[in-house]
Amino acid sequence: MSPQLSRRTLLAGSAAVGVAATLPVALPAAAAARPDAGVSAYAFPLTAVRLLTSPFSANAGRTQSYLQFLDINRLLHTFRLNVGLSSTATACGGWESPTTELRGHSTGHYLSALAQAYASTGDASYKTKGDSIVTVLAQCQARAATAGFNTGYLSAFPESFIDRVEQRQSVWAPYYTLHKIMAGLLDMNLLAGNAQALTVLTGMASWVKFRNDRLTQTQRQNMLDTEFGGMNEVLTNLYQLTGDAAHLAAAQQFDHAEIFDPLASNVDSLNNYHANTQIPKIVGAIREFHATGTTRYRDIAVNFWDIVTKHHTYAIGGNSNGEYFKAPDRIASELSDTTAECCNVYNMLKLTRQLFLTNPARADYMDFYEKAVYNQTLASQDPSSAHGFQCYYVPLRAGGIKTYSNDYNSFVCCHGTGMESNTKYGDSIYFHDGGSTLYVNLFIPSVLTWAARGVTIRQDTSFPEAGSTKLTVTGAGAFTMRIRIPAWASGAQIRVNGTVFSSPAAGAYATVTRTWASGDVVDVTLPMALTREAANDNSNVQAVKVGPIVLGGLFGTSNLTALPVLDPTSLTATTTPLQYTANGVTLAPFYKVHGQRYSVYWSITGSTLVANYPFDGSPADVSGNGRTATVYSAAYVAGRSGNALDLNGSTGYAALPGGILAGATNFTVALWVRLDTVTSWSRLFDFGTGTGAYMFLTPRSSTGTARFAITTGGSGGEQRIDAPSALPAGAWTHVAVTRSGNLGVLYVNGGEVARNAALTISPAALGNTTQNWLGRSQYADPYLDGALDNVRVYSRALSASEVSTLASSGT
Ligand SMILES: [Zn+2]
């Protein structure tokens, strides 16, 4: 739904925005009623971006072939029958069969895909097909009364399905299906200039409000327990287009309090909720923020995104097992043949894109977009199918294999969203700020026509097979490029016309401002390191990545019964880009893995180093596990070696990722500290979930000495190791605490100072800790005043000599 909104924004935007005569598709004369509130970036219309040859254009081409192939009369068969019109077409199968309660949804997806294909390519045949469908849908809607339905009703199933959902009788998801049709009509209006589509859509919207106005608030909220797609989104988008407040009122009748209320408080209660029922509601919430400026809607969306991407998302960017959200951080424990439903990632990408428009300063939005679009969206279409057949789930159990839809006998939800995803790859590569700033977000070969500035930007790249991209400007003028430097791209470099311009930080936007001349070239080098991403709930279960690209292990016909074991030191690059071998197994980019069994996750052997933070000017984890810390109110100062993280004693701390020692029975935490002030109960580290379950190390407890404690029963249940003295101020001090079996040992400056042989509580007993802090307590204790350096976390107990070596080496 987003591309047309950007067009509306363009039409409503600054006078600088115009339409170049060279654009292959004329923009429709859509109304431009309401600008979006709370956005500071804007999309280019799909018509402004053309894909060059890449895996994305190949996917798009297959889907376009399918759109051309489909017989519209077969898709309209049940619509016609529903209102007593004759149809001799062969009925579709699968979820479009005449007896399936979801019938008609694919026609909506098809309309969106046709509109997007038309805008993306300029090929009028897509519009012609879409126009023909809209004509028939208008005929069907006009016969609503004749068929015994209320005015404006349009569907391939009778209106009695709506009676059933209102009365809480068994029915699949009628509003879900109507949402697809409404969204398809809106796309045909905004992307293909079909005025009749808007007329039909406003008729449907009026019918929706008529139905819901008859219900009490309680009846409406109960009805919302049944999946309804993004009804709030499409009605809000219609409000933004028409300015008719009735459409916003209708949208807000679909605000589902049971889902919105906890999210507004940033509470994760998603466990056991059907994932793709919820995500579109949140896409609706961010659009309701853009339409109303009500920040509660924005908070719901931002909180949901943070919760889902950090606590419910697999390495490929998808979520859900058996279509349901699970308890937070369950990843390794939820690997099956029905993981990562593709509709979910389609909707998460829509949400991510809207959040980027809301806050384009956050580079992590588009980092996630990149992760998901390469490792799931691109990966879930069958490249051997001329028609772009689509996965429903992406199996993530070891030995899983992708399976796909077909021409006429599938029509599952993901087949529909797949048609949409593969016809809009041009919609998130570039954005602008409404003035003179261009965002370059994705490294996909393409040409942007930036009509407002009178320039084109051509992006040539073989990324991700090579870690670089090249942007060539045609036309002239002063403007700024803001180029996303992904969090994975440490050591990036930008050259302008061959001369080094900057070495930008990873995980942020690099800015290049100049008065451009035609032919200017920006080269961006993006080093792609071989890394691993650990599952939140088991640090020994990891996926292998090169830059953002997840690798899959190729297992042919071997149906594995357990995770394959991988020693990361055995990974060996081959001459094929992004392809490795390890102990006889080939690993290839997961987006290229089709037609054989594979494993995305591995049981990692060898290293027990969970995380390693040198704090040399960044919160990066250099262990290879990718557990980047988040630093709050802290600075980098000269450290014991290199730099150190300086905490101010009042607000500064660092947060390590969730479940940092999840599943570990033995462990070591080793670090350097230089205290500026020895404050009782401040923390070197404190990993826990609150004041009930935690493990901490303080430089001075109330008994006046340093203490390690671990508990699953609050302060009364603590098991402790008390040092003979407090840690000193003003001197770099090495501290380590280890557990092996029930033996806990505390070391200071390389020597043992205390032990507890009855330390029966292990980190595993704490579960998936969510508050893993350096310098901050689970309690309202003082923050640490001092500097931390070379913080290491292991899932085994280092020996006394290993601790001594760390202390004597200064690292
Ligand atoms: Zn689906």
| Cα 644 to ligand 1 centre (Å) | 47
pLDDT of residue 767: 79
Architecture of the structural domain at 7-428: Alpha/alpha barrel (1.50)
Q: Report the alpha-carbon distance of residue 419 to residue 437 in Å, rounded.
A: 32
pLDDT of residue 450: 98
| Cα 338 to ligand 1 centre (Å) | 11
Residue 352 has pLDDT above 90, yes or no: yes
The gap between the terminal CA atoms of the chain, to the nearest Å, is: 52
pLDDT per position as a tens digit, 729-776? 999 999 999 998 789 999 999 999 999 999 989 888 887 789 999 999
* Of 258, 264, 253, 343, residue with least CA distance to 297: 264
| Cα 414 to ligand 1 centre (Å) | 4
| Cα 273 to ligand 1 centre (Å) | 15
Q: How far is CA 707 from the centre of its chain?
A: 40
Which amino acid is present at 138? Answer: A
Apex CA 483: angle with CA 479 and CA 487, to 5°? 160
- Tell me what the mean pLDDT of segment 357-370 comes to: 97
| Cα 340 to ligand 1 centre (Å) | 9
| Cα 787 to ligand 1 centre (Å) | 49
Check residue 69 and give left, alpha or beta (phi > 0: left; psi -120 to 50: alpha). alpha
Residue 9 has pLDDT above 80, yes or no: no
| Cα 252 to ligand 1 centre (Å) | 25
| Cα 342 to ligand 1 centre (Å) | 5
In order of 136, 200, 335, 748, 761, the CA distances from 145 in angstroms are 16, 15, 50, 83, 70
Place of tokens 């937070």: 328
Check residue 114 and give left, alpha or beta (phi > 0: left; psi -120 to 50: alpha). alpha
Residue 5 has pLDDT above 70, yes or no: no
pLDDT per position as a tens digit, 86-126? 999 999 999 999 999 999 999 999 999 999 999 999 999 99
Q: Which residues of 718-739 are buried (b: 16+ CB within 10 A; e: fewer)?
A: bbbbbbeebbeeeebbbbbbbb
| Cα 105 to ligand 1 centre (Å) | 12
pLDDT per position as a tens digit, 781-796? 999 999 999 999 998 8
Q: How far is CA 156 from the centre of its chain?
A: 33
Residue 563 has pLDDT above 90, yes or no: yes
* Of 407, 412, 372, residue with least CA distance to 389: 407
Compute the mean pLDDT over every residue in the chain, rounded to the nearest whole number.
93
| Cα 705 to ligand 1 centre (Å) | 57
| Cα 343 to ligand 1 centre (Å) | 4
Which helix (DSSP H) or strand (DSSP E) does residue 304 occupy? helix 295-311
CB atoms under 10 Å from CB of 428, counted, come to 25
Residue 26 has pLDDT above 60, yes or no: no
pLDDT of residue 7: 30
| Cα 277 to ligand 1 centre (Å) | 10
List the structure tokens of 315: 């390495």
332 phi, psi to nearest 5 deg: -60, -30
CA dihedral sign, ordered 772, 777, 780, 786 = negative
| Cα 592 to ligand 1 centre (Å) | 21
| Cα 413 to ligand 1 centre (Å) | 4
| Cα 487 to ligand 1 centre (Å) | 30
pTM of the model: 0.78
Apex CA 785: angle with CA 707 and CA 751, to 5°? 40
| Cα 518 to ligand 1 centre (Å) | 45
| Cα 658 to ligand 1 centre (Å) | 28
- Tell me what the mean pLDDT of segment 656-665 comes to: 83
What CATH code is assigned to 431-461+468-525? 2.60.420
| Cα 354 to ligand 1 centre (Å) | 21
| Cα 316 to ligand 1 centre (Å) | 16
Q: Which of 335-344, 632-641, 751-760, 793-802 has the highest mean pLDDT?
A: 335-344
Which pairing describes strands 477-485 and 508-516: parallel, antiparallel, or unpaired?
Answer: antiparallel
809 band by pLDDT with thresholds 50, 70 and 90: confident
Q: Report the alpha-carbon distance of residue 32 to residue 13 in Å, rounded.
A: 9
pLDDT per position as a tens digit, 198-219? 999 999 999 999 999 999 999 9
Task: Name the residue ranges covered by the structural domains of the chain.
Answer: 7-428, 431-461+468-525, 530-604, 609-809
Which helix (DSSP H) or strand (DSSP E) does residue 438 occupy? strand 437-440
CA dihedral of 760, 765, 766, 772, whole degrees rounded to 10:
80
pLDDT of residue 11: 32
272 phi, psi to nearest 5 deg: 75, 15
| Cα 347 to ligand 1 centre (Å) | 10
Assigned CATH topology for domain 609-809 = Jelly Rolls (2.60.120)
| Cα 797 to ligand 1 centre (Å) | 45
| Cα 750 to ligand 1 centre (Å) | 55
pLDDT per position as a tens digit, 565-620? 998 888 899 999 999 999 899 999 999 999 999 999 999 886 678 899 999 989 99
pLDDT per position as a tens digit, 435-494? 999 999 999 999 999 999 999 999 999 999 999 999 999 999 999 999 999 999 999 999
State which residues have CB under 5 angstroms from ligand 1, the bound ion: 341, 343, 413-414
| Cα 65 to ligand 1 centre (Å) | 21
Place of tokens 């969203």: 417
- Tell me what the mean pLDDT of segment 714-741 comes to: 94
| Cα 597 to ligand 1 centre (Å) | 22
Residue 625 has pLDDT above 70, yes or no: yes
Residue 29 has pLDDT above 90, yes or no: no
| Cα 323 to ligand 1 centre (Å) | 9
Q: Report the alpha-carbon distance of residue 516 to residue 495 in Å, rounded.
A: 14
* Of 659, 692, 664, residue with least CA distance to 768: 659
Calculate what percentage of the chain has a pLDDT beyond 90. 87
- Alpha-helical regions (H) of 193-271: 195-213, 217-223, 231-242, 245-252, 257-264
List the structure tokens of 556: 């042919």
| Cα 1 to ligand 1 centre (Å) | 17
Matching fold, domains 431-461+468-525 and 609-809: no
| Cα 421 to ligand 1 centre (Å) | 12
Q: Which residues of 543-559 are buried (b: 16+ CB within 10 A; e: fewer)?
A: bbbbbbbbbbbbbeeee
| Cα 526 to ligand 1 centre (Å) | 34
List the structure tokens of 191: 């992307």
Residue 165 has pLDDT above 60, yes or no: yes
